[in-house]
Amino acid sequence: MGDETDRPTVTATLPGQPPEHVADGAALEADAVSAWFGTHKVLDRVSLTMAAGTVTALIGPSGCGKSTFLRILNRMHELVPSAALSGEVRLNGRDIYEHGRPVIETRRRIGMVFQKPNPFPAMSIADNVLAGLRLTGTRASRGNRDVLVEECLTKAGLWREVRDRLGQPGGALSGGQQQRLCIARSLAVRPDVLLMDEPCSALDPTSTRRIEETIEALRHDVTIVIVTHNMQQAARVSQYCAFFLAEEGRPGQIVEAGDTETMFGAPADPRTADYVHGRFG
């Protein structure tokens, strides 16, 4: 893991400048990924390709390793002292765990939105959006910050609701608005991939619908990987699905992966059919 001395200075790509990343996101590939917490193995040789510019939904019962896998995809797993892993995770063909690769750069390119909205409550809405720049050492000129705030809030589906109160605290927003503010904060550093860990589980149906609309709009600019227990949501927002399962005390594995229509309409494995149609889990 890189320390403060390894932290790169990255210049934000703002409107009117050529992008630093692939326009429609980047391909993310997991190759034979296994994971442990101490001696407890939680994932066993998981391989999955998450195509650029698409939404991939990770589905499966609680405890099968979905969230652990998601955190491995941007090097958060290694923050747990007892955690270990093997295998490779490649972003556009390059292993994000290769020796000497700064962790801060990986997390800039692969952002994360968590289950519970986590804006900085006392910080203004505008400063919440810009906070991601400071956290990743990314610089933007003062003249471009207002443009960046508007662009990111617009992409997150929040601009019209907050444009007249950008100086008010982010903690004063509703739960759904706070979640979209967190999405806007993630977008400010121009990620190639956005990981979402059950982003709607604490939200009401109206807020959930708005988040789903945001996901649909964003997938043309950024590759999205989402963990969800809501099968209707997985069917609505994703183009691809991966079904995780941990049976009889064994570590989590992918039972089946493929395009969403096939996974829900004609899955190859009967366990997948049982799960997506609510017969267990």
For the stretch 130-140, pLDDT in tens is 997 877 667 77
Q: The domain 22-276: what is its CATH number?
A: 3.40.50.300
| Nearest CA-CA partner of 168 in 155, 176, 156, 178 | 178
Over 70: is that where the pLDDT of 15 sits?
no
Distance between CA 281 and CA 277 in Å, rounded? 10
The pLDDT value given to residue 278: 87
Distance between CA 223 and CA 240 in Å, rounded? 12
172-176's contacts with Cβ under 8 Å and 24+ in sequence apart are: 173/119, 173/125, 174/207, 175/117, 175/202, 175/203, 175/204, 175/207, 176/203, 176/204, 176/206, 176/207, 176/208, 176/210, 176/211
The pLDDT value given to residue 185: 94
**Alpha helix stretches (DSSP H) within the chain:** 66-72, 103-109, 125-135, 142-155, 159-162, 175-187, 205-218, 231-237, 260-265, 270-276
Question: pLDDT class for 24, splitting at 50, 70, 90?
Answer: low
The pLDDT value given to residue 17: 33
The phi, psi pair for 150, rounded to 5°, reads -65, -45
Cβ pair 44, 251 in contact under 8 A:
yes
What are the residue boundaries of the structural domains of the chain, listed by start? 22-276
Q: Can you give the C-alpha Rg of the chain in angstroms?
A: 19
**For 134, how many CA atoms within 13 A lie in the half-sphere containing its CB?**
6
Question: pLDDT class for 21, splitting at 50, 70, 90?
Answer: very low
Helix (H, G, I), strand (E, B) or coil at 25: coil
pLDDT tens for each residue of 115-126: 999 999 999 999
pLDDT tens for each residue of 66-87: 999 999 999 999 889 999 999 9
| Nearest CA-CA partner of 136 in 256, 270, 4, 251 | 4
